[in-house]
Amino acid sequence: MRVLVTGSSGRLGRSLSAVLAEKGHEVIGAGRNTVGIPGVREVTCDFTDEQATADLLAAEKPDAIVHLAAIAVPFGAPEREILVTNSVLTHTVLAAAADAGVDRVLCSTSPTPVGYSSPDWRPDYLPIDEAHPLRPAHAYGLSKIVMEEAAAMFARTTDMAVGCFRPCYVIAPEEWAGAPTQQGHTVLERLEDPALAAVSLFNYVDARDVGDFVDLWLTAPKDAVTGEVFFVGADDALAYKPIAEIWREYAPHMGEGADALTEGLAAFSNDKARELIGWRPTYTWRSALAEAGVAIEEVPA
Ligand SMILES: NC(=O)c1ccc[n+]([C@@H]2O[C@H](COP(=O)([O-])OP(=O)(O)OC[C@H]3O[C@@H](n4cnc5c(N)ncnc54)[C@H](O)[C@@H]3O)[C@@H](O)[C@H]2O)c1
């Protein structure tokens, strides 16, 4: 399949594009800059520019688009700019894809619409799944809801298969090996100070596992994925101890439902992705660190 990845030069895009190329897709990486991704042809485009986006799709004729380009971090820009930019980017890509006759578009949103970054937030239940109510606490989370509603609208009103996935905190191979993760700390720092990962409910996912999810989504029957939203997270929590043992100290807002998160269970369910398209994450944080050659000296939380 000829797949165009927007935002391919980013933290997730580099690994995801390389995985899709390894799986035999013809991958065109498109974004504001190029970074040299193995097996991927890279081009530049500003996806807020309607004409440039239309011209790129007319020239490249992709079968599918994986849309990652965004302001990708809460409070990474002024609130209004995040809301406007992420909404406009998504609508521009979806509208151009529909005009160009693209078959499928998969958009990367986020678990943040659920709202766990607000101090007043309480989950309705744990583990959290795709049916959990949305209560965003910032413009980034709100922008991801706009993106999901835009995807649903194009799924209803065009012949394209359109859907979304909500990746948990993405960790790329170089980050397992010691490079700083999105929030600036290393994986070991997040493990050694549970307060760092508690704000995101200890969620994470390996970037290569996200690549596997995207490959399965692209090749699944269209009616199994169109209009759907999927959490894409690891089976386990990014913590030395089970959440059930540490939530009272580090994430009291999770409430007593977190007592069920024993034996390393994650706060976000990935059951829907398994049931609808057969995806399972292959990495745990322990196996990914071991593969990266990083010794784990478990310290009491
Ligand atoms: N990294 C995570 O932990 C995480 C978690 C949940 C959701 N997400 C979402 O996944 C996607 C990718 O995240 P990331 O961590 O790789 O982000 P990133 O910031 O590393 O990469 C974003 C990419 O988008 C590009 N981009 C931004 N505006 C653009 C424009 N106008 N035209 C063309 N390209 C543009 C950037 O140049 C960059 O290459 C984003 O939508 C993000 O919100 C990421």
Across residues 5-32, what is the average pLDDT?
Answer: 98
Q: Residues 231-273: pLDDT tens digits? A: 999 999 999 999 999 999 999 999 999 999 999 999 999 999 9
Cβ pair 107, 147 in contact under 8 A: yes
Structure tokens at 16: 């995801």
pLDDT of residue 50: 98
Across residues 273-294, what is the average pLDDT?
Answer: 97
Task: Select from 180, 161, 234, 206 the least CA-distant residue to 1.
Answer: 161
Ligand 1 lining (C-beta closer than 6 Å)? 7, 9-13, 31-32, 45-48, 68-70, 72, 89, 108, 110, 167, 169-170, 182
Q: Residues 132-180: pLDDT tens digits? A: 999 999 999 999 999 999 999 999 999 999 999 999 999 999 999 999 9
Mutation test residue for ligand 1: of 68, 84, 86, 89, the one with most atoms within 8 Å of CB: 68
**Ligand 1 atom at minimal distance to the Cα of residue 112:** 6
Say which amino acid occupies 246: I
Question: What is the three-class DSSP state of 277?
Answer: helix
Peptide bond into 194 cis (omega under 30): no
What stretches of the chain adopt beta strand conformation (E)? 2-6, 26-31, 40-44, 64-67, 104-108, 161-167, 170-171, 205-206, 229-232
pLDDT band of 120, cuts 50, 70, 90: confident
Q: Ligand 1 atom 18: the closest Cα is on which residue?
A: 10
Global pTM value? 0.97
How many CB atoms lie under 10 A from the CB of residue 174? Answer: 14
pLDDT band of 119, cuts 50, 70, 90: confident
Q: Which CATH number applies to 2-291?
A: 3.40.50.720
Cβ pair 111, 140 in contact under 8 A: no
